[in-house]
Amino acid sequence: MKTLAYVRVSTEEQARHGVSLDAQEEQARRYCELHGLELDEVLRDEGQSGKNMDRPAMRVLLDRVSRGAVKAVVVYRLDRVSRSTMDALRFADTLRAAGVAFHSVCERLDTQTADGGFMFTLQAAQAERERKLVSERTRAALAHKKTRGEWLGRPPFGYRVEDKRLVEDDQELSLIAKAKRLRRAGHSIRAIAKRLAMPKSTAHLILRTHGRTRKSRYTAA
């Protein structure tokens, strides 16, 4: 039976907090050395949200627990397991039923005791609260930018962003016009892409959805 470490990070978290997968793994290894645990393997989920449990490495972990191949699980922090209170509690119940010890580097949690189980629930609820607060702030910030007429995200082909505003790109709009003329003349998308020196996917996109349409939809919203 093995001692496994589980580490997870989403792109946003990695940029914001700097708690990279390697940093989490190093902390887990130090924890194991300090507490006399022999770490056999580290399971890594990179760029995976904590809002649900459907992640490649987490699926591997749960499968091994269900097969009785794990004796202990080590994480850097409880919210690496999940940012959903219910999912975290189900995870704890799964480990407890299988007789698997749970260790968190940042929190001292013993889910085998009443007080430990209570603290686990509080920590899980806090992780979910933080996830929801971040989501709320992000939506509010995006809504504010939109009311100010600021463009959000990547501009459509035929436009560029200047001073946070969407402005026409004459060179790209000229390519759109040429592509449409060639299409009306009966040329295939492949031939149009080759003639205009652009990827086939780009030619297909600009012929299917005009940038002006996307801009008008954004402005109307």
More confident residue, 159 or 218: 159
Min mean pLDDT across 32-41, 73-82, 174-183, 210-219 is at: 210-219
More confident residue, 124 or 58: 58
Q: State yes or no: pLDDT of 100 exceeds 60.
A: yes
Q: State yes or no: pLDDT of 102 exceeds 70.
A: yes
More confident residue, 195 or 212: 195
Which whole-number Å values give the CA distances from 155 to 127, 140, 149, 197, in the listed order? 34, 21, 13, 20
Instruction: State residue 92's pLDDT score.
Output: 85
Q: State yes or no: pLDDT of 18 exceeds 60.
A: no
Instruction: State residue 221's pLDDT score.
Output: 40
CATH 1.10.10-classified regions of the chain: 159-220
Report the topology of domain 159-220: Arc Repressor Mutant, subunit A (1.10.10)
Helix H or strand E encompassing 5: strand 2-9
Instruction: State residue 129's pLDDT score.
Output: 67
pLDDT tens digits along 165-190: 777 888 888 888 899 999 999 999 89
CATH 3.40.50.1390-classified regions of the chain: 2-141
Query: How far, in Å, CA of 80 to CA of 39, rounded?
Result: 18
Nearest to 72 by CA among 39, 29, 27, 23: 39
pTM given for the model: 0.54
Give the sign of the dihedral formed by CA 160, CA 162, CA 168, CA 172: negative
Q: State yes or no: pLDDT of 219 exceeds 60.
A: no
Min mean pLDDT across 77-86, 113-122, 158-167 is at: 113-122
More confident residue, 12 or 31: 31
pLDDT tens digits along 40-76: 999 999 989 888 899 999 999 999 999 999 999 999 9
Cite the active site residues. 10
Nearest to 107 by CA among 91, 94, 126: 126
Query: How far, in Å, CA of 156 to CA of 175, rounded?
Result: 13
Report the topology of domain 2-141: Rossmann fold (3.40.50)
Give the sign of the dihedral formed by CA 42, CA 48, CA 53, CA 55: negative
Query: How far, in Å, CA of 10 to CA of 130, rounded?
Result: 14
Number of Cβ atoms within 10 Å of the Cβ of 7? 25
Instruction: State residue 2's pLDDT score.
Output: 92
